[in-house]
A and B are shown apart, each in its own frame.
Chain A
Amino acid sequence: ILNVEQSPQSLHVQEGDSTNFTCSFPSSNFYALHWYRWETAKSPEALFVMTLNGDEKKKGRISATLNTKEGYSYLYIKGSQPEDSATYLCAFENWQAGTALIFGKGTTLSVSS
């Protein structure tokens, strides 16, 4: 069974704090790792798609790294803002599962002003 684990399940930070989350996935037959941001009552928004070991991607204050050999990815948010409050999902693709995205349960971030 292919399993994706995300930690922490939830966290609460103050505006201006920097934070990071972890996504762990099986390293065999790796194809791609996706990060999504999902705000309440909206559709999940794609943040990054990463394919290569050592990949680093950045979008504004959000960045992500990928280690396919050990099976983990980190998502970093620098200087958190209240509008960053959302659930962050990671999803894994591998050659065995075909084109399905295998999601973790997400990390719910709450940022207080």
Chain B
Amino acid sequence: ETGVTQSPTHLIKTRGQQVTLRCSSQSGHNTVSWYQQALGQGPQFIFQYYREEENGRGNFPPRFSGLQFPNYSSELNVNALELDDSALYLCASSPTGTGPPEAFFGQGTRLTVV
């Protein structure tokens, strides 16, 4: 396994509610990225955090927000949940250095919105 852990593994929420997903990055990694994988699609980039600052964002509305903590763990928050937010949410951590970083993924959180 990669050393990236996500919690919870599964979650059921009601439309309109808010949810927080958590990710512990691999030791030594200061960059965390979040991806959404809807059914039948490849993972879609939500945003990335580097040293507690947002460092890039995909095409997701502002109700998707995040945090990175001093220990480089991260949270993904989604407000006003919609049915289409039902998906697998993946967290990936990576080190910084020369060349393209290798991203290490967690197992994901399966979110179901009903």
Given A99-B48, A103-B42: A34 in contact with B107 (beta carbons within 8 A): no
Chain A residues, Cβ within 8 Å of B107: 41-43
From A13-21, A44-52, A64-72, A74-82, the one touching the partner chain is A44-52
Q: Which residues of B contact A43 (CB under 8 A)?
A: 1-2, 4, 90, 104-108
Partner of B100, one of A32, A45, A89, A105: A32
B45 near A102 with CB under 8 A, answer yes
Interface residues of A in 86-113 (CB under 8 A from B): 89, 91, 93, 97-106
Residues of chain B within 8 A (CB-CB) of A102 are: 45
Structural contact, A103 and B44, CB atoms closer than 8 A? yes
The distance from the CB of A2 to the nearest CB of chain B, in whole angstroms, is: 10
Chain A CB within 8 A of B55 CB: yes
CB distance from A66 to the nearest CB of B (A): 12
With both chains docked as a complex, state the minimum distance between the C-beta of B79 and any C-beta of chain A, in angstroms. 22
Alpha-carbon separation in the docked complex, A89 to B101 (Å)? 17
Size category of the binding interface on chain B: 20 to 34
Cβ-defined contact, B100 with A100, below 8 A: no
- Is the Cβ of B1 less than 8 Å from the Cβ of A105? no
Cβ–Cβ < 8 Å partners of A101 in chain B: 33, 35, 43, 45, 92, 103
Cα-based distance from A99 to B50 in the complex (angstroms):
11
Q: Which residues of A contact B48 (CB under 8 A)?
A: 98-100
Chain A residues whose CB sits within 8 angstroms of the CB of B84 once the complex forms: none
- Cβ contact of A105, chosen from B40, B55, B105, cutoff 8 A: B40
B43 neighbours in A (Cβ, 8 Å): 89, 91, 101, 103
Provide a sorted-by-A list of 12 A–B residue pairs whose CB atoms are within 8 angstroms: A32-B99, A41-B107, A42-B1, A42-B107, A43-B2, A43-B107, A49-B100, A51-B99, A91-B42, A91-B43, A100-B56, A103-B35
